[in-house]
Amino acid sequence: AIAKTTKSINVDFLPCFSKIQSFFIDPVSATNYAILEDNSVLYKYDLDGKSWKKDSLKNLYSNLPLKARGGITDDNGTIWFFNTNQIYAFKNGQSIPDFPKTITDFLYPLNPLAAVFKNHKLYLFKNKLLYELNIEKLKIDKIHRPQYIFENFPLHLNAAFRHNGLQYFYSNQNYSIYDEKNSKILDGYPKAIITDWSLCRSS
């Protein structure tokens, strides 16, 4: 049903109907962006028009490939992305010197699906596991079952982002909100992106 509906809607709303490859909020402009799994096109949420518009990743992060995953912001305002075995870091809209870097650790999951953050630690999701990444050493410190780190973590994770003490987990056409202060998924989640997510409501 969703596939049929997608063909009849305006292109501006594609992020609401498609699987999200990456979703992130640019720390500088506080603007919402989404990259879709099916076509690797960047979309920017237009607050004035309350709709999604195509945009160019080169205008935002010039050396970031469109296949990149992640987009998680840490406590220092650094936003992290991942592609194959490369790690990208941006601060104040600029690539941090010496990035991207290559991770050679054999435990590293090539092409992780998403990144999440907790207790000053960065985790990568793939194969239904969370890989705890040591940024300084570019090594995997530990591998965890997600439920041991995040209560009621979704079985599959397409994308995630972090904003104002909340983490948003996107699993296919649903999303959940994790409260960092209380270390729990908010009651009533998961919910459908198309009917509940504020950036997808038509009214």
Do the beta carbons of residue 66 and residue 49 sit within 8 Å?
no
Given CATH 2.110.10.10, say whether it is the number of domain 20-197: yes
Distance CA 90, CA 77 (A): 9
CA 160: distance to chain centroid? 3
As beta bridge partners, residue 36 has 20
DSSP state of 25: E
pLDDT of 8 reads 40
pLDDT by position in tens, the chain (length 203): 233 333 344 556 778 888 889 999 999 889 999 998 877 789 999 877 778 888 998 889 989 999 999 999 999 999 999 999 999 999 998 999 999 999 999 999 999 999 999 999 999 999 999 999 999 999 999 999 999 999 889 989 999 999 989 999 999 889 999 999 999 999 999 999 888 888 887 65
pLDDT of 4 reads 32
Q: Per the structure block, which two tokens stand in for 111?
A: 């092409």
b/e burial code for range 18-38 (CB count within 10 A of at least 16 → b): bebbbbbbbbeeeebbbbbee
pTM, two decimal places: 0.88
pLDDT of 89 reads 96
As beta bridge partners, residue 17 has none
Helix (H, G, I), strand (E, B), or coil: what is residue 40? coil
Segments making up each domain of the chain, as ranges: 20-197
**Location of structure tokens 């709303």:** 13
